[in-house]
Structure 1
């Protein structure tokens, strides 16, 4: 409640003072920087300790396979939801936007992109949150090595487990500053985007925000019910508001990850599941990005007076949204690649690129909220798949 009140007050300040509210930005930056400082060691210790403590690799395989199925299915559902919405309320009609040629970008082959995504040339590069998939792969290998070392690896395993617990306590300390940080960040957010809401992108924004919020409220309630029945729904909503507020205010799934792990623990999701699914989800599971990808496609179709109809067009749109939200989100510059894919597959001019990039900026807060909280409910579904329907009644560490 304190966080929600802080966000509301920040929104009011942003509306009243407009761009002048950006004077509060440093206070918000301190909060998000503190969260970003924690993310790299937290991801390393949580994943490596989780993998090291697993009884068998069979358990890890089950978690990973269930996780991927859940990620893909929820991404498809999110895409279909927005597909229905843009057909009811087309976002690009009557829009007049100046076309600006985008800056020159570095082109990489698929093989080069994959190498950069999953590996880094030096150990020190793992310390950057821009190489999260490489860090996750490294953490999994460390966990596997610790488990395979048997008795010799147990002291190191205890160190990994201890590190995970220590950083969870650090999160708790940082969250004492959260009301101030989210107040300042939200005041800046509303102050910056106030003008955009009245501009050419108003129609797209007025469509995305309600759809994203309804998907968050209705869709995630349904997922939580499937995962744990009425008690699952109650536990989800009791614990998800803090991660949702953090994601909405900071615009970062990585910054929300520390808070999300705490929420998942309080919900009752087993340690090995939450510490595997949530860090990976923050990297490669993006229901909010699936929603925005469909919106971007429909928007440029409207701008160029193209017919956005037909099974082929819709299936291509869903495919692109899945690539953008589940696959490319884990690749450095994946959002840009997804946008390039949109204009390339549909034969649109390169000038369409800055249009859809701008949409991504203005819908980022609710998109991130859906992305981050979607990881939590996805971990509940994975738990239901592995532990059975009674998991929600069990007490976990």
Structure 2
């Protein structure tokens, strides 16, 4: 009996993570595109095309569910602190994306040369067509989903318990759980097969190895930017709040490692709360800021997406400048609010907005972005989570200096 139990526990322990499955999918896609006959390759491509249609149908529902609940739940905090924390988090997300773009636009052309661009040409030229496709029209446009999510979220947050009850809130809460179930049981598990089909088609067209020779360099730049941006955040936080920056960074190591292991900001919250406590953040502030920023502070994700988009546009010889990338970053900073804790949640939120920079949300380039993003998602999550603690120190200082001191005075005036 004991030996059977041990064998069962060992089987349970051995599970391939999403990144491993994705890398296997890429490898299998290359092998399929290189060695299998065209007829079998088109079978794989047909599945990939069907999945793409399903994904396009689900994305507006995902945005409606998660953004609505994200806004509705954020309003349950203290008014001033909520506004300050949300503003700093959004500013940090925009700043990280802007820095990533300036680094990428100046550095990437050094290894994405004209020769590379000419050898790639049109990444979708020469690709095989699926045997058939099933167009599934989304219930609503992505822009309409974003607008409706904001309307519902703001109205629920301001009217709940005053003019309306909990019915709408509970409905949207359960709806978000349904969409999260779809994401975790259908979308995420099938992503490796989707990527496999894309790489099989890219291999047939002769573009795979040329593109991969560029993307591994992009990967190194992205990880370096994550670490440098974290250093910047902690230096700003430590110097302005008069705390030891080196000690703050040491205290954050467990939270960083937990985020790499879980690939989830939400799952890292317990460890991150301990990191905040070690940094001297008061209990009421850390219990408010850390869970809040886990949903709204996406600096690491923004760095990754901006760098990946810039590299893809450069490889495709498509126009890219501040006028194109800034609106994309500003929109994405909002759309990623309360993106699901499942790996790849941020890139799923970004897919509908890729046409803003000229990339089709269901194109081969989009699936390439998904692949590159998820392979480093652990590091992006670690950057998000660690940056939350730098913000928590700033909010704690603001609270103790300006808000907490003013409360007794207001109470005294009220008594008079």
Bin for the TM-score computed over the shorter chain: 0.5 to 0.7
1:60 is aligned to 78
Task: Give 1:323 deviation, angstroms.
Answer: 3.0
1:270 is aligned to 282
Please tell me whether the aligned partners of residues 286 and 392 of structure 2 are also in contact (alpha carbons under 8 angstroms).
yes
Task: Give 1:318 deviation, angstroms.
Answer: 3.1
Task: Give 1:23 deviation, angstroms.
Answer: 10
What residue ranges of structure 2 are gaps of 5+ in the alignment? Answer: 1-10, 19-73, 157-168, 182-208, 405-416
Q: Normalising by structure 2, what TM-score?
A: 0.55
1:388 is aligned to 401
**TM-aligned CA distance change 1:126 to 1:328, over 3 Å:** closer
Please tell me whether the aligned partners of residues 290 and 392 of structure 2 are also in contact (alpha carbons under 8 angstroms).
yes
In the alignment, structure 1 residue 283 sits paired with structure 2 residue 295: yes
In the alignment, structure 1 residue 300 sits paired with structure 2 residue 312: yes
- Bigger Rg over Cα: 2
2-side partners of 1:345 and 1:27: how far apart?
Answer: 35
**TM-aligned CA distance change 1:378 to 1:120, over 3 Å:** same
Equivalent residue for 1:229, pick from 220, 231, 242: 242
**TM-aligned CA distance change 1:98 to 1:307, over 3 Å:** closer
**TM-aligned CA distance change 1:242 to 1:331, over 3 Å:** closer
1:215 is aligned to 229
**TM-aligned CA distance change 1:387 to 1:362, over 3 Å:** same
**TM-aligned CA distance change 1:121 to 1:235, over 3 Å:** same
2:6 is aligned to none
In the alignment, structure 1 residue 257 sits paired with structure 2 residue 288: no
2-side partners of 1:211 and 1:113: how far apart?
Answer: 32
Task: Give 1:268 deviation, angstroms.
Answer: 1.5
In the alignment, structure 1 residue 316 sits paired with structure 2 residue 335: no
- Residues matched between the structures, number: 275
**TM-aligned CA distance change 1:313 to 1:128, over 3 Å:** closer
Deviations 1:324-355 (A, max 9, x none): 55x3636996532312202x213333413212
**TM-aligned CA distance change 1:360 to 1:377, over 3 Å:** same
Please tell me whether the aligned partners of residues 79 and 321 of structure 1 are also in contact (alpha carbons under 8 angstroms).
no
Task: Give 1:264 deviation, angstroms.
Answer: 1.0
Please tell me whether the aligned partners of residues 101 and 306 of structure 2 are also in contact (alpha carbons under 8 angstroms).
yes
2:196 is aligned to none
Q: Normalising by structure 1, what TM-score?
A: 0.58
**TM-aligned CA distance change 1:106 to 1:219, over 3 Å:** farther
What does 1:100-111 align with in structure 2 at a 5 Å threshold?
Answer: 107-109=138-140, 110=145
1:54 is aligned to none
Please tell me whether the aligned partners of residues 282 and 396 of structure 2 are also in contact (alpha carbons under 8 angstroms).
yes
Equivalent residue for 2:358, pick from 328, 331, 347: 347
What residue ranges of structure 1 are gaps of 5+ in the alignment? Answer: 1-21, 30-50, 52-56, 132-194, 392-397
